[in-house]
């Protein structure tokens, strides 16, 4: 188990290190290339659109052929190959094409990594949170490290920095992992995937995930640009991104205890209320350093608690035969469709009304998700 723990932790570390370069700094890089705020939102929304399609395709392939590990390796290799086109892009259309191609494969592999991880952990699934926190550590390391690099040498070093991280992801996927095995009992064969999607609790769960990510659209698209417009340096922006993920790491460490004490509905409701508060304060008081530092720590709930809850929910509600597609659907509807909608509409709002109203509306969307949480009905009230 110690060796397996290290291999899985390194895979998560490298995967989310890429997000640590891209989430805070891709918008700044595109801004440096002269793209407008609306064009930036359109390009970043492409990242989310591929997150709708790619996980579903990969999930269907994995459930059909039982080849999760192979798909992780092939996906990371194609991410590296397709991203090389970034060095030759010089128009909006060229950047759009490269972003679609490399993000398609990058977005496809995460649900498969989740399935491989949970299967390889076997009866030790409580270790998931501690393994997943290394993804957060990779994000922090990347955000802060490259924030300093870009502050000293400039954002022009963004493309080569991202290339190095993608290469590390591919290397980390090449170590040995046991391929998830499925036993097709008569019950599983007859209980098709679409049957799950007709259940009201599952439908409402996915609506909550969608709205949560819509509310994150302004944050992932414009937070860095917004902070720099208020006078913060690139390094300070990196610190702000990192603070949220540090809080997320601390929550992952103790999340298993919270699962045992509180209901799914309560965890989601608290997290969403705090998320709404976070976005409103970001819109109103972002010029005050200590205020924005404090609200960034709410990321522990906005992402950490909600994601851990969602992963466990999907793992418990769907049979092993359908795990690939179920995790993919969570990624597609939430991070994909929700993220794309949030990125696009935040671009429209910020272009017309500015950052203030963009984050206020994000807060209202998070509040709307609370309604669906309280309408949820679960067969069990606690995670085991």
Q: Map out the domains of the chain as residue ranges.
A: 2-172+194-374
CATH 1.20.1250.20 is the classification of domain 2-172+194-374:
yes
Sign of CA dihedral 7, 12, 15, 16: negative
At 247-266, the pLDDT tens digits run: 988 887 777 677 667 777 88
At residue 40, the pLDDT reads: 93
DSSP letter assigned to residue 180? P
Query: 185: which strand partners?
Result: none
How far is Cα 68 from Cα 63, in angstroms, rounded to an integer? 8
CA 262 to chain centre: 24
On average, the pLDDT of the chain sits at 87
The pLDDT tens digits for 178-225 are 877 765 554 454 357 788 888 888 899 999 999 999 999 999 999 999
Measure the CA angle with vertex 315, ends 167 and 214; round to 5°. 70
User: Bridge partners of 263?
Assistant: 382
Angle at 150 between CA 144 and CA 154, to 5 degrees: 175
Report the largest interatomic distance among the alpha carbons of the chain, rounded to a whole angstrom: 63
Does the pLDDT at position 89 exceed 60? yes
What pLDDT does residue 366 have? 97
List the single range of 23-27, 196-200, 226-230, 296-300 with lowest mean pLDDT.
196-200
Q: Is the distance from CB of 342 to CB of 216 less than 8 angstroms?
A: yes
Q: What is the mean pLDDT of residues 125-149?
A: 86
Lowest mean pLDDT among 158-172, 242-256, 343-357: 242-256
pLDDT at 79 exceeding the cut of 70? yes
145-184 burial code (b ≥16 CB/10 A, e <16): bbbebbeeeebeebeebbeebbebbbebbeeebeebebee
pLDDT at 198: 84
pLDDT band at 177 (very low <50, low <70, confident <90, very high): confident
Lowest mean pLDDT among 59-63, 202-206, 230-234, 263-267: 59-63
pLDDT band at 74 (very low <50, low <70, confident <90, very high): very high
pLDDT average, residue stretch 282-301: 96
Which of 76, 44, 12 has its CA nearest to residue 248?
A: 12
List of E strands, the chain: none
pLDDT of residue 16: 94
Confidence of residue 378 (pLDDT cuts 50, 70, 90): low
- The share of the chain scoring above pLDDT 70, in percent, equals 92
């Amino acid at each position: 188990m110690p060796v397996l723990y290290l291999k899985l932790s390194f895979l998560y570390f490298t995967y989310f290190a890429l997000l640590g370069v891209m989430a805070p700094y891709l918008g700044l890089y595109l801004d440096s290339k002269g793209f407008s705020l609306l064009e930036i939102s359109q390009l970043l929304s492409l990242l989310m659109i591929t997150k709708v399609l790619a996980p579903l395709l990969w999930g269907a392939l994995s459930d059909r052929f039982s080849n999760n590990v192979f798909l992780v390796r092939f996906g990371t290799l194609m991410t590296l190959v397709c991203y090389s086109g970034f060095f030759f892009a010089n128009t909006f259309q060229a950047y759009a094409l490269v972003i679609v191609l490399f993000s398609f494969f990058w977005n496809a592999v995460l649900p498969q990594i989740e399935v491989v991880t949970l299967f390889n952990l076997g009866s030790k699934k409580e270790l998931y949170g501690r393994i997943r926190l290394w993804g957060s550590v990779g994000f922090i390391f990347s955000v802060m490290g490259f924030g300093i690099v870009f502050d000293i040498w400039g954002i022009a070093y963004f493309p080569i920095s991202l290339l190095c991280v993608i290469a590390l992801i591919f290397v980390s996927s090449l170590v040995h992992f046991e391929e998830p095995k499925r036993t097709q009992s008569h019950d599983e064969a007859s209980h098709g995937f679409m049957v799950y999607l007709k259940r009201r609790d599952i439908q409402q769960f996915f609506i909550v995930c969608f709205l949560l990510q819509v509310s994150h659209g302004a944050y992932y698209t414009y937070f860095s640009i917004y902070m720099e417009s208020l006078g913060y340096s690139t390094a300070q922006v990196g610190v702000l991104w990192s603070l949220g993920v540090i809080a997320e790491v601390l929550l992952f460490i103790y999340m298993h205890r919270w699962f045992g004490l509180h209901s799914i509905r309560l965890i989601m409701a608290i997290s969403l209320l705090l998320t709404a508060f976070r976005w409103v304060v970001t819109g109103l008081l972002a010029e005050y350093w200590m205020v924005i530092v404090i609200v960034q720590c709410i990321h522990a709930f906005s992402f950490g608690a909600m994601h851990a809850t969602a992963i466990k929910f999907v793992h418990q509600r769907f049979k092993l035969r359908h795990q690939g597609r179920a995790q993919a659907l969570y990624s597609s509807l939430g991070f994909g469709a929700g993220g794309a909608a949030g990125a696009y509409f935040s671009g429209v709002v910020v272009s017309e009304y500015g950052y203030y109203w963009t984050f206020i509306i994000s807060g209202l969307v998070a509040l709307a998700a609370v309604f669906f949480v309280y309408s949820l009905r679960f067969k069990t009230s606690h995670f085991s």
